[in-house]
Chain A
Amino acid sequence: MAHEESTDPGDAGGRLTFRSGLIEGMFGPGLGTFAAMTGFGSLAADAGTPLWAAVALTIGVWSMPGQVAFVDLYASGASILAVTLIVMIANVRMFLLTIATIPLLRTGPSVKPGHFILAQLNSVTSYVRLVDVTEKERDVSNRIAFFTAFTIGTLIVGTIGTVLGFTLAGNLPAAGVQALVFITPLYLLLLTARSPKAQVQLSRSLPDACWCQPSPRGWAAQESWWVA
């Protein structure tokens, strides 16, 4: 399937820069993140979580399922062990997401200290967008600049959303907030539908999975299996 020319933010001229990533992160899917974190801020206020803790969770945990689980547990007075276990279980997807992300952001076979910071910044939104831009951008340093800025952009608006939601808990117009929250799932599903890489890999894996045996192409790929 031919990859269409796009005029979407971050695609202009095929040039990925820190600036384009920051702008897109803040004003593209960042609006959805802003809305989602506004909802989280309101939830945290309702549950009696302090504002500083809500902000620390947004910046430090940076994964909605774990944040929501924390707020729920905090309100019920759960133990440290319960919080640790349930937040970890809620965020287990970050493990696979990180494994899928880091190889797209490195130049050599080994990981660098900077990758541990990029892993902390990573999110579902950033990952899906990264895969999308990887199709066009082969220069890893440009990818890293874009990815870093994109994620920092969403993190900034997410933090602002948390503070706003906490402050205005219960006073935000429902339809407006719901429309904003609707942005993130819609954006990510459309982005996934646009990614040729996802389509190719799924189409390659599905027949293998159905027939429970590797296709000739699967065998060929196995020859290049590389584990350091």
Chain B
Amino acid sequence: MPDATTLTLVAVAIAGTYAWRLAGVLVAGRVEEGSPLFAWVTCVSFAIAAGLMMKILVLPTGTLSSTSFLDRTLAFAAAVTVFYLAKRRLVPALVVGVVVFFVLVSVRSAT
């Protein structure tokens, strides 16, 4: 049986996050796809997504923080190289990037 305090905390965390989503839907009802406002929001959203992902690569917290910056950079560079060599196809680039990263991390932890 969940205790009341934890249940309340989880409920307010869910409600607090959904409040942003709810507000987003209400505002989105007044924004047309193709309008300058929509273009601006899209740019900011892409910037948030790309910035968040670059932060994970450059300044990670959690499990990636114990890996080398050089390893992450080399794996990322390998993926980007394959991405453009393979005419911007995702899967080969993703596979190469992850495999290179795994090999570098394994080699470094073994030495």
Contact = CB atoms under 8 A, between A and B. Distances in A.
A189 B63 contact: no
Contacts of A103: 28, 31-33, 38
Contacts of A228: 29-30, 32
A224 B36 CA distance: 8
Interface in A6-38: 6-9
A70 interface: yes
A73 B96 CA distance: 38
Contacts of A92: 20
A123 to B, nearest CB: 10
Nearest to B3: A50
Given A57-B10, A60-B10, A186-B94, A87 B89 contact: no
B90 A115 contact: no
B34 to A, nearest CB: 7
A190 B20 contact: no
- From B19, B33, B38, B90, residue with most partner A Cβ within 10 Å: B90
Contacts of A175: 102, 105-106, 109
Contact of A185 (B16, B24, B53): B53
Given A60-B13, A88-B19, A192-B49, A7 B101 contact: no
Contacts of B97: 182, 186
Interface string A184-199: 1111111111110110
Interface of B: 2, 6, 8-10, 12-46, 48-50, 52-54, 56-57, 62-64, 66-67, 72, 75-76, 79-80, 83, 87-91, 93-94, 97-98, 101-102, 105-106, 109
Interface of A: 4, 6-9, 39, 43, 49-50, 52-53, 56-57, 60-63, 66, 68, 70, 74, 80, 83-85, 87-88, 91-104, 109-111, 115-116, 119-120, 122, 124, 127-128, 131, 174-179, 181-195, 197-198, 201-202, 204-205, 218, 221-222, 224-228
Given A83-B13, A178-B67, A190-B79, 15 more contacts: A4-B88, A62-B17, A84-B13, A96-B44, A100-B42, A103-B31, A174-B105, A177-B63, A178-B63, A186-B97, A189-B57, A190-B94, A221-B35, A224-B35, A225-B37
